[in-house]
Amino acid sequence: MLSQNAKNSGIEQFKSALRRHAMKATPQRLAVHEAMLRLGHASADTVTEEIRKSASTNVTVASVYNILTNLAGLGIYKRRMSANNKMYFDVNTFKHIHLYDSENHTFKDIIDEELMLLIESHLGHKKFRGFKIDDIDIQIIGHPSKSKKTL
Amino acid sequence: MLSQNAKNSGIEQFKSALRRHAMKATPQRLAVHEAMLRLGHASADTVTEEIRKSASTNVTVASVYNILTNLAGLGIYKRRMSANNKMYFDVNTFKHIHLYDSENHTFKDIIDEELMLLIESHLGHKKFRGFKIDDIDIQIIGHPSKSKKTL
DNA sequence: GTGATTGCAAATTTTTTGCAAGATA
DNA sequence: TATCTTGCAAAAAATTTGCAATCAC
């Protein structure tokens, strides 16, 4: 329920963001955003796959790249890099930490406001001369622990 | 002086690390490591360039990739991700934070033991079920502030 | 209608791989 | 000498770009 509303409002918000930037609400852009809302984090090819699987809209990877890059430029997504050397995009703009699974190359969000505040307040009074801070990226890197031995 | 010693001992340490792993001390590997000690963080092509510029050893990018990847596998280097979508390697194995300059795509080390401890102790008593933490990566992303105007 | 946007294919860029030739222990 | 490594060139993988056709406004 909540999630459904959240998604709808997500799309509405998205449309008005597009309008605000004088960008057309093309089916491709909407499909990309819908996929991103479902996926959370994804690479261009994953998004393309997801769209082909679930939507009637057809898209090409090239367009998905362009769309994701443009939207990241507007701050609607965040570009992320993973250790498997692919570009990932992140739909969540709120502050959070990432848990990166280096085996499966997936990201999981960790919301830990306390920690973010801790770090920000620690860094807050530090100056990096000649450097304007845009973002702080915290990634916890690990792998699934095979606690089952035989699996 | 100190830096020279540090570099020499770096090379000696490196050689014994190679020996320990039954890897041969080829001129290419030594050249890569020397370049990495100078560069700190670098991508394969930067390392190749640096070697060609400064050393008599000649190398191919393919070999540099292989060497960097192998050494990262041994934990001698650390693989890093940058927003310009290239693989970077990091020669410093001690815990530190990175300042990533998104304009010039360069990294700078920040040593802030206090912050690392803060984060580790905060995360220390958190459990991520089924997940084994290998590393915590903190990146401060920003760009040079054109302080010319108003400062 | 008209300018923005997409699809397609080709070009770039980055990384990986196979195998013969060469170097190291 | 036996094996590990490198060089080279070609293959893969990932991303970007040009341009005509198409679509949203």
User: Within 7 Å: CB of A47 and strand C?
Assistant: no
Distance C16 C1' – B62 CA (angstroms): 8
* For residues A113-118, average pLDDT: 86
Phi, psi of B132 (to 5 degrees): -100, 120
Comparing CA positions, the residue from B23, B140, B22, B135 lying closest to residue A83 is: B135
Residue B91 tokens, joined = 């020669």
Comparing CA positions, the residue from A139, A59, A7, A31 lying closest to residue B100 is: A139
User: Within 7 Å: CB of A29 and strand C?
Assistant: yes
- SS3 state at B104: coil
pLDDT for residue A27: 96
| Residue B9 near chain A (CB below 8 Å) | no
Query: What sections of A21-112 are H helices per DSSP?
Result: 27-39, 44-54, 61-73
**From the C1' of C9, which residue's alpha carbon is nearest?**
A62
For B102, which residue in chain A has the nearest alpha carbon?
Answer: A134
Give me the residues of chain B with pLDDT under 50, please.
1-5, 149-151
pLDDT for residue B9: 57
Cross-strand partners of B98: B109, B139
| Residue A150 near chain B (CB below 8 Å) | no
| Residue A101 near chain B (CB below 8 Å) | yes
Q: Say if the Cβ atoms of B136 and A139 lie within 8 Å.
A: yes
| Residue A117 near chain B (CB below 8 Å) | no
Tracing tokens 């796959």 back to the chain, one arrives at A49
Minimum mean pLDDT among A1-15, A75-89, B46-60: which range? Answer: A1-15
User: Within 7 Å: CB of A60 and strand C?
Assistant: yes
Predicted TM-score (pTM) of this structure: 0.81
pLDDT at A139 exceeding the cut of 70: yes
Q: Which of B137, B140, B144 sits opposite A141 (nearest CB)?
A: B137
User: Within 7 Å: CB of A24 and strand D?
Assistant: yes
| Residue A87 near chain B (CB below 8 Å) | yes
Cross-strand partners of B79: B89
**From the C1' of D25, which residue's alpha carbon is nearest?**
A24
* For residues A75-104, average pLDDT: 84
- SS3 state at A113: helix
For chain A, percent of residues with pLDDT exceeding 90: 40
Q: Which of B110, B136, B142 sits opposite A132 (nearest CB)?
A: B142
pLDDT for residue A25: 96
pLDDT at A34 exceeding the cut of 70: yes
